[in-house]
Structure formats: C-alpha cells, structure tokens
C-alpha cells in the first residue's frame, strides 16, 4: 500500500491515502478550515483544491488574537 506524507503544523504525518481534496484532508485531521492555511506544492491554495498522492501538502494553523 502506498502511504502519503503531509506536514501538519510543521510535523510530518503519514496517511494511508491522500483524500480527494484539502477540505476532506482537514476534516480527517480534525482541523477547521477557518483556523488553517493549506499549502500544496509550496503555494497557498483554497481548501477545496484537488489533491494527488504526489503533491507536497502542508497544513499550517493560523494564530488569531489581539
């Protein structure tokens, strides 16, 4: 079985397969789209971006506050 790696908050995570899009990936990881940024192959992308097993994917949580 082919495993895929992503970065979540700069920490590597391994998944059995890449979800079809960023929205589903964040859902599976328990990350809200309102609190995170999705980077695909080094570029910030909307959470609905289609993902493939060869994409380099990072999810970065954004800190809010004042």
pLDDT of residue 3: 79
pLDDT of residue 37: 95
DSSP assignment of 4-31: EEEEETTEEEEESS--SBHHHHHHHHT-
Mean pLDDT for the stretch of residues 39-64: 93
pLDDT tens digits for 12-45? 999 998 999 999 999 999 999 889 999 999 999 9
Domains and CATH numbers, the chain: 4-61 (3.10.20.30)
């Amino acid at each position: 079985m082919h495993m895929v790696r992503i970065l979540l908050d700069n920490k590597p995570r391994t998944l059995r397969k890449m979800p079809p899009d960023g929205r589903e990936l964040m859902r599976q990881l328990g990350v809200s789209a309102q609190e995170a940024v999705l980077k695909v192959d080094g570029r910030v992308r909307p959470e609905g971006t289609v993902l493939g097993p060869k994409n380099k994917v990072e999810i970065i949580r954004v800190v809010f506050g004042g």
